[in-house]
């Protein structure tokens, strides 16, 4: 068995970043539902949008740092298709 430590690190990074991206997208969808439902103030909408945007940028930055194309973080959900 040929195990390359660099590949293990990249694989783990890809898994963790994919999970973080999945959670970010869930939070984004929840925020949109709350915004459309009128349960968020304008200030909360602004802060939530900024936080989600910064998180997305950080995930993409970290992915590139590990040599991962950010588009590879999209999770395949079997018969349901891809996450995004």
What confidence tier does 80 reach under pLDDT thresholds 50, 70, 90?
low
Phi, psi dihedrals of residue 76, rounded to the nearest 5°: -80, 125
Q: Rounded to two decimals, what is the model's pTM?
A: 0.76
pLDDT of amino acid 71:
85
How many Å apart are CA 25 and CA 29, to the nearest integer?
6
Domain ranges of the chain: 8-65
Q: What is the pLDDT of residues 33-74, one digit of tens each?
A: 999 999 989 999 999 999 999 999 999 999 999 898 988 887
């Amino acid at each position: 068995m040929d195990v390359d430590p660099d590949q293990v690190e990249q694989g783990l990074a890809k898994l963790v970043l994919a999970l973080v991206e999945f959670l970010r997208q869930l939070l984004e969808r929840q925020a949109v539902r709350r915004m459309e439902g009128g349960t968020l103030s304008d200030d909360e909408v602004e802060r939530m949008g900024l936080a989600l945007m910064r998180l997305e940028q950080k995930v993409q930055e970290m992915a590139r740092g590990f040599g991962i194309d950010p588009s590879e973080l999209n999770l395949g959900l079997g018969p349901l298709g891809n996450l995004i």
